[in-house]
Structure 1
Amino acid sequence: MIATGATALQVAEHHDLPAPRLIAADLTGDQSGTPASLETMIAGTTSWPDGSPERLRAAGAALARLHTVSMGPREHLPFRPRPIAVDDFATDRRLGRMPTTALLQQADALITAHGRPDEPSVYLHGDVWPGNMLWSGNQVTAFIDWKTAGVGALGVDLSELRKQAAITFGPEAPTEVLTGYQQSTGHPAPHVPYWDAVAALNTPTTCWTPTATIRRNNFLKTALQNLP
């Protein structure tokens, strides 16, 4: 993860993307005694005082900037088939390592049968949620915490942010994120229901609060209703 984060920051600097800049990295730990990296500090806050349409659209637009970089897998930036790829809650449920529900089972079966869409590969943050976005006013100054970055379909990031917005701010929030994203790119995002379902499936069966679980489930139901 240290190597992934350091490599991701190098790509971000090369393309002038909103992220900290890498100062140094000791990937083997020979110099510092443990694998480590050092990056610049960026002014801003991760606090979202509200889920206003303006802020949600700004978040979507900022994310679209990352995806202007087309690239394939490289050392320390692997292909990512889902957000936060170090977790695979769908497989854990499938193998009986955690409890499941009828909704999650249905969603997993439908997504498996649908298959991953064939899409261009872009630069991904990998863990896009409000806590990993720095704000100054209503502008995103940086994305932070790049340890699960990689490459893959843009929906990996976009739908993770939509899911997080739905859980945090309610059912209208994902639409605002998508609006901001598509206004920035100038064209519709592909396969949104599929990636929404993938993002929802990559959560624990019971989320951190009852409200979060209900909102996750409603987000997932909407994705399945719109899945071709």
Structure 2
Amino acid sequence: MSSFQQLALKLGTELLGVRPLAGGVSARVTALDVRLGGPCRRLVVREYGRQDLIRAPDLAAREFHLLEVLYRAGLPVPSPVHHQPGRLVTTFLEGENGTTTAADLRHLAGFLTRLHALDPAGVELPLLPGPGPAPVMPDESLSGSRIRRALHDLDPGECGRLSVLHGDLWPGNTLWQAGHLSAVLGWEDAALGDPLADVGNTRLELLFSQGKGAMHAFTQEYARHRDLNLDRLRFWDLRAALRPCGRLTSWGLEPTVQAQWERRHAWFVRQAGA
């Protein structure tokens, strides 16, 4: 009996079909068609990678409870169904990956402002970790040492109340249907911290995938809803710029795309003052 058949039995359902889903980077994602005495229902099983489980063995339980909070708050997230070590089961939501229009960017910024406005009391998440020690062999192709020196000289300032952070909000972690944001996925990096950490990460991701215009449009829309201190944003842009260092070459990009992203990353670092 396969592990998915065992899971279906545990849920009290009949397994009708199994289909791998595209888009999983740090986790394996699979759709299950199941039935419980009625119409067919589709679920999604997210199986976390080894590195994520070393970092957080309780990741499935933590993400399950976070999704419960977000779903009750009316945010567009899958409804959690079940969890077990290393594996999370949620409802399946229809939609296509990616943002393509100005309206999409408005919806994305609106989602992030709603998330950051939530009261984090009772949400059990780790605090946003620091940038970590400098690697023995820094990634100088992405100016790793220069970024760290600039961060050392910058003061992030006070963020006020901590916010719930998605931690990895990029177009690949979103689903869109009929021009609306139907779901935000991939909550394994969620944390409590400064909301500008999310803003900086999403700015860089939009720059990578869609260019400066999309990055600026998203930033302006977020600023319509929440105060945006541009001096403090410089710090969080540089924190975001550290994330691809030492990792970009492992993302499986086409050579021309990787070269373009490297140029855009260099510009992003310069505009942040490093």
Q: Shorter-chain TM-score: what band?
A: 0.7 to 0.9
Write out aligned runs for 1:1-228 (5 A).
1-27=59-85, 35-48=86-99, 50=100, 52-71=101-120, 75=124, 77-81=125-129, 91=133, 94-101=134-141, 103-119=143-159, 120-183=161-224, 185-188=225-228, 191-205=232-246, 207=248, 208=253, 209-224=258-273
Count of aligned pairs: 206
CA–CA distance in structure 1, aligned partners of residues 233 and 177 of structure 2: 29
Runs of at least 5 residues in structure 1 that lack an aligned partner in the other structure: 28-34, 83-87
CA–CA distance in structure 2, aligned partners of residues 6 and 24 of structure 1: 7
Deviation at 1:150, TM superposition (A): 1.5
CA–CA distance in structure 2, aligned partners of residues 189 and 139 of structure 1: 28
Deviation at 1:175, TM superposition (A): 1.0
CA–CA distance in structure 1, aligned partners of residues 75 and 200 of structure 2: 20
SS at match of 1:25: strand
SS at match of 2:261: helix
SS at match of 2:212: coil
| Cα deviation 1:12-37 (Å, max 9, x = unaligned) | 1232211111112224xxxxxxx422
Q: Is the Cα–Cα contact under 8 Å of residues 25 and 37 in structure 1 kept in the other structure?
A: yes
TM-score (norm 2): 0.67
Deviation at 1:118, TM superposition (A): 2.1
Distance 1:14 1:107, change over 3 A: same
Q: Is the Cα–Cα contact under 8 Å of residues 197 and 223 in structure 1 kept in the other structure?
A: yes
Letter aligned with residue 91 of structure 2: T
- List structure 1 runs of 4+ shifted beyond 4 angstroms: none
Percent of counterpart pairs with the same letter? 22
Deviation at 1:74, TM superposition (A): 5.3
SS at match of 1:67: helix
| Cα deviation 1:32-81 (Å, max 9, x = unaligned) | xxx42211111211144x3x333223221222111111326854x10114
Letter aligned with residue 170 of structure 2: W
Runs of at least 5 residues in structure 2 that lack an aligned partner in the other structure: 1-58
The alignment yields a C-alpha RMSD, in angstroms, of 2.4
Q: Is the Cα–Cα contact under 8 Å of residues 72 and 122 in structure 1 kept in the other structure?
A: no
Greater RCO between the two (CA within 8 Å, min separation 6)? 1
Q: Which has the higher strand share?
A: 2
